[in-house]
Amino acid sequence: MSERTEVKDIDRSLHDQKNKEKHRYQAAKGLTPAVIKEISKEKDEPEWMLDFRLKSLAIYKEKEVPTWGADISDLDMDNIITYVRPDADLQDNWDQVPKEIKDTFDALGIPEAEKESLAGVGAQYDSEVVYHNLKEEMVEQGVIYMDMESAVKKHEDLVKEHFMKLITPNDHKFSALHGAVWSGGSFVYIPAGVDVDIPLQSYFRQNAPGSGQFEHTLIILEEGANAHFIEGCSAPKYSVNNLHAGAVELFVNKKAKLRYSTIENWSRNMYNLNTKRALVEEDGVIEWVSGSFGSKVSMLYPMSILKGARARAEFTGVTFAAEGQYLDTGAQVIHAAPNTTSTVNSRSIAKDGGHAYYRGLLKATENAQGAKASVSCESLMLDNQSKSDTLPIMKLETDDIDIGHEAKVGRISEEAIFYLMSRGISEEEAKAMIVRGFVEPIASELPLEYAVELNNLINLELEGTIG
């Protein structure tokens, strides 16, 4: 089955539908040991996880807020609710999910998509997963796909060995915050040699105003395994700030291959401060496909650590920043073994005063002899008010490496628009055609339904930009 046939098209207007807030439990605002203990108690966690949370909280209190990227001074953590348990239990049957939550996911196309073409689905609503299911044939092959809370209890040794080992609380202030208040997310384990040729998908929906979502995704592929994981995210718009500070840890073992596709379509009051990392062993492959839309601020730089010889990483991403948005995105690759290869292909678009910033890191250690790396980052500005910057950082500790780098920043071509208009195409459609052509290399890598959604998002973003 093609990797690009997964989920039905999603109309962006659906993302702003709000449900009346109904929750079973909501943590007090602010960050104190008492709040952390209460969250852990609600989850009935093992003692080691509570200890981890409390140590992470102590680190969070010591860390400074990053000042090198986007301005996040308006984010007041004392007014963010870090845990909201929805009024719903975890189900493996959509008909058992409360109606208004089910209706939200129905509108987003999740259940229908699962019936047609997904190997497994997880759906998170605010801080907890409300639905999770895996096809029986996957279970029979030893595949594990479940919510993280269940994995902590049912696969405690495996989780404990990997949990927050790639992303540690010491990395930065928001990884420490994540370690303290994480909730929800997905756990995936693919045994050696198993090929999950139908994608798995998790969808994260944030509904409560003034809250944070801190899901943790942990994926482990044993030797020779193959999988495609799709992540979707959205939230309705509120007049108060919301925060998303999830974490994604991917362990790709020898000769394994993982594709991780994401469309983040947050509302314009969201601070999206996500951290994603993959560790790739000998002859392993990680492929990132990333689309960043929505949010007030994004700071997101998926990292690939190529630890084993001949390991490979590919990153394909598109960012669209409109009025009031500062999207600071990019990719990081660490070549730490001989003959490793990486390709980064990034496109960013800015309009109506939006700021699209590409920030990338390419590092080759002294062990990376014979490594090859290619970085291409292109930015397109649709008007004179918008801003676009590229900051590709390279740290090379060996001379035996082949690097290609290309960066372009430019405005939309008036000549191209005039040419298309002379062929009977309207100015608005001419601009949309140019933008779609600009992101086509990215869209072609997305699963089919997300490629369609990407084009719909572009059309909606371009509305009203002429004249």
Predicted confidence at residue 12, as pLDDT, reads 39
Give the tens place of pLDDT for each residue, 342-372: 999 998 888 889 999 999 999 999 999 999 9
Q: What HEC string does 414-453 produce?
A: HHHHHHHHHCCCCHHHHHHHHHHHHHHHHHCCCCHHHHHH
- In the structure encoding, which two tokens stand for residue 298, read together? 């994004």
Predicted confidence at residue 432, as pLDDT, reads 80
Q: List the one residue out of 274, 263, 264, 286 whose CA is nearest residue 334.
A: 286
Assess whether pLDDT exceeds 60 at residue 4: no
pLDDT, greater one: 238 or 399: 399
- In the structure encoding, which two tokens stand for residue 56, read together? 């992470």
At residue 439 the predicted structure's pLDDT band, cuts being 50, 70 and 90, is confident
Alpha helices in 173-316 (DSSP H): 173-181
pLDDT, greater one: 424 or 414: 424
In DSSP terms, 403 is beta-bridged to: 373
Residue 247, burial from CB neighbour count under 10 angstroms (0-12, 13-18, 19+) = buried
In DSSP terms, 205 is beta-bridged to: 125, 234
Assess whether pLDDT exceeds 80 at residue 294: no
At residue 131 the predicted structure's pLDDT band, cuts being 50, 70 and 90, is low
At residue 263 the predicted structure's pLDDT band, cuts being 50, 70 and 90, is confident
At residue 178 the predicted structure's pLDDT band, cuts being 50, 70 and 90, is very high
Predicted confidence at residue 449, as pLDDT, reads 58
- For residues 76-83, give the mean pLDDT: 79
Assess whether pLDDT exceeds 60 at residue 15: no
Range in 25-29, 57-61, 227-231, 442-446 with the lowest mean pLDDT: 25-29
At residue 20 the predicted structure's pLDDT band, cuts being 50, 70 and 90, is very low
At residue 194 the predicted structure's pLDDT band, cuts being 50, 70 and 90, is very high
Which of 1-5, 82-86, 247-251 reaches the highest mean pLDDT?
247-251
pLDDT, greater one: 133 or 196: 196
- For residues 312-320, give the mean pLDDT: 92
Range in 105-109, 144-148, 461-465 with the lowest mean pLDDT: 461-465
Q: What is the DSSP letter of 195?
A: B
* Distance (Å, whole) CA 97 – CA 252: 33
Predicted confidence at residue 395, as pLDDT, reads 95
* 334: Cβ contacts below 8 Å, ≥ 6 apart: 303, 304, 305, 306, 363, 365
Residue 401: enclosing H or E segment and its boundaries?
strand 401-411
Which of 76-85, 217-226, 237-246 reaches the highest mean pLDDT?
217-226
Q: Which residues of 302-334 are buried (b: 16+ CB within 10 A; e: fewer)?
A: bbbbbbbbbbbbbbbbbbbbbeebbbbbbbbbb
- For residues 105-128, give the mean pLDDT: 60
Give the rounded percent of residues in the chain with a pLDDT score beyond 70.
76
pLDDT, greater one: 215 or 22: 215
At residue 158 the predicted structure's pLDDT band, cuts being 50, 70 and 90, is very high
Predicted confidence at residue 129, as pLDDT, reads 62
Assess whether pLDDT exceeds 60 at residue 25: no
At residue 427 the predicted structure's pLDDT band, cuts being 50, 70 and 90, is confident
- For residues 369-381, give the mean pLDDT: 92
Predicted confidence at residue 42, as pLDDT, reads 87
Q: What's the alpha-carbon Rg for the chain, to the nearest Å?
A: 21
Q: List the one residue out of 257, 271, 349, 264 whose CA is nearest residue 304.
A: 257
Predicted confidence at residue 106, as pLDDT, reads 65
Assess whether pLDDT exceeds 70 at residue 464: no
| Under 8 Å between Cβ of 213 and 241 | no
**Strand stretches in 254-351, DSSP E:** 257-266, 270-272, 275-280, 285-294, 297-300, 303-306, 312-321, 326-329, 332-335, 341-350
Q: Is 285 helix (H, G, I), strand (E, B) or coil?
A: strand
Range in 45-49, 144-148, 460-464 with the lowest mean pLDDT: 460-464
Global pTM reads 0.85
Length of the chain, in residues: 467
Predicted confidence at residue 415, as pLDDT, reads 86
* Distance (Å, whole) CA 57 – CA 52: 9
Predicted confidence at residue 21, as pLDDT, reads 47
Predicted confidence at residue 16, as pLDDT, reads 44
- For residues 408-421, give the mean pLDDT: 83
* Distance (Å, whole) CA 365 – CA 130: 43
pLDDT, greater one: 6 or 447: 447
* Distance (Å, whole) CA 421 – CA 338: 52
Mean of the per-residue pLDDT values for the chain?
82
* Residue 118 vs residues 50, 130, 227, 262: alpha-carbon distances, Å: 34, 18, 12, 15
Predicted confidence at residue 105, as pLDDT, reads 63
Q: Where are the domains of the chain?
A: 12-300, 414-467
Q: Which residues of 335-368 are buried (b: 16+ CB within 10 A; e: fewer)?
A: bbbbbbbbbbbbbbbbbbebbbbbbbbbbbbeeb
Which of 137-146, 217-226, 458-467 reaches the highest mean pLDDT?
217-226
Give the tens place of pLDDT for each residue, 27-48: 667 789 999 999 899 889 999 9
Other Cβ atoms less than 10 A from the Cβ of 391: the count is 15
In DSSP terms, 381 is beta-bridged to: 350, 411
